[in-house]
Amino acid sequence: MANPSSPHLLSSFLGNRLALSARPLLLRSAGPGSRRVAYQATRTLCNLVDILFNRRSRDDAPENNPRRLRPGKVSPRLSVPNHIQRPPYVNSRQRPGVNNGPEIHDERGIECMRASGKLAAQVLKFAGTLVKPGITTDEIDKAVHQMIIDNGAYPSPLGYCGYPKSVCTSVNECICHGIPDSRPLEDGDIINIDVTVYLSGYHGDTSATFLCGDVDDEAKKLVQVTRECLEKAISICAPGVEIKRIGRTIQDHADKFKFGVVQQFVGHGVGKVFHAEPVVLHFRNNEWGRMVLNQTFTIEPMLTIGSINPVMWSDDWTAVTEDGSLSAQFEHTILITEDGPEILTQC
């Protein structure tokens, strides 16, 4: 990625686990006519990422501003029955990375992707029904976890680079990767729930932002426009289409409503591995690459009312807006077919 204004582009789930040498993410040319995306997940560079991301002053810190989101208590990691197939990165000493090639599937692979995508969509729909004032994000995580394992699947986030929960729950100013905890949802909150399941060796990845109780009009508009950005981006997908059109489509629509588009977190290929090429930028860019028949990847724009700059909490996962302004996100896994895009993560 040659955009000098965004030197630390991160996968929307990998977060600050992406690193190569001394940088969270490095995209580099592998020679004429080709480019390789090199990733290596790590937990040892969190201080560097904090320097890159953390622009907050002491007065802006959550503990000094009662209106900001604050971390709650995180309960112990939930167990998964032994008979359920686990992704290779679970209980492995090898750091999970990102495949250097796209996820392109044969007929069996497509059917497996449809199955994992459908389950992810069903789980997300169920999770949305739980959103109400008073419920904790930890309770949502437990319910989601149970539904996933009841269907013979593994919750992909659990144990990924040490992530302690089965789902991501990002409330209000949290851009992404919020860790479920003891904080109860409040009337007027918005919450993104990000679900990924690993079923029969394939990942299905999706998320949506839900309204909790009586939400003000500005927050509703943010959520609506973010959803529209995803829908418009999906609609232009087809074999041979330049991937950079996704970012332009999203940015053009967000600009109409003066919402910001977060640049540091990106979509990604998904399939047998959790993260693969292509890197899908959600803002205007000049990166190369075209969509390929039978390819699967995610599109997952994150929009904000105010600052697009993320601040990383000390848990090394939770990314919140620098100014505390609201953020919303929607995500689908799509398959590129001869007839255009097939959304795999919808019921």
d(CA 118, CA 298): 14
Number of other CB atoms surrounding residue 218 within 10 Å: 11
Measured CA to CA in angstroms, residue 341 lies from 46, 105, 115 at distances of 37, 14, 17
Dihedral through CA 198, CA 341, CA 332, CA 261, nearest 10?
140
- Joined tokens for residue 55: 């622009």
275 is in an annotated binding site: yes
The Cα–Cα gap between 262 and 335 comes to 24
Return the SS3 of 205.
strand
| 194 carries a ligand binding annotation | yes
φ/ψ bin of 200: left (φ > 0), alpha (ψ from -120 to 50), beta (otherwise): left
Residues in the chain: 347
For 149, the 3-state DSSP assignment is helix
145 is in an annotated binding site: no
Report which residue type is found at 264: Q
Q: 60 labelled as ligand-binding?
A: no
In angstroms, rounded to a whole number, what is the distance separating the alpha carbons of residues 11 and 276?
A: 10
3-state secondary structure at position 123: helix
Report whether 332 belongs to an annotated binding site: no
Known binding residue 8? Answer is: no
Query: Measuring CA to CA, which residue among 243, 260, 238, 240 is closest to residue 251?
Result: 260
Q: Are strands 302-304 and 154-155 parallel, antiparallel or unpaired?
A: unpaired
Is 268 annotated to bind ligand?
Answer: yes
Task: Return the number of other C-beta atoms located less than 10 Å from residue 334's C-beta.
Answer: 26
Dist CA 78 CA 109 (whole Å): 29
Q: Which residues pair with 35 in a beta bridge?
A: 29
Task: Characterize 32-43 residue by residue with b for buried, 16 or more Cβ atoms within 10 angstroms of its Cβ, and e for exposed.
Answer: eeebebbbbbbe
Binding site listing = 177, 194, 205, 268, 275, 300, 331
Binding site listing for a divalent metal cation = 194, 205, 268, 300, 331
Binding site listing for substrate = 177, 275
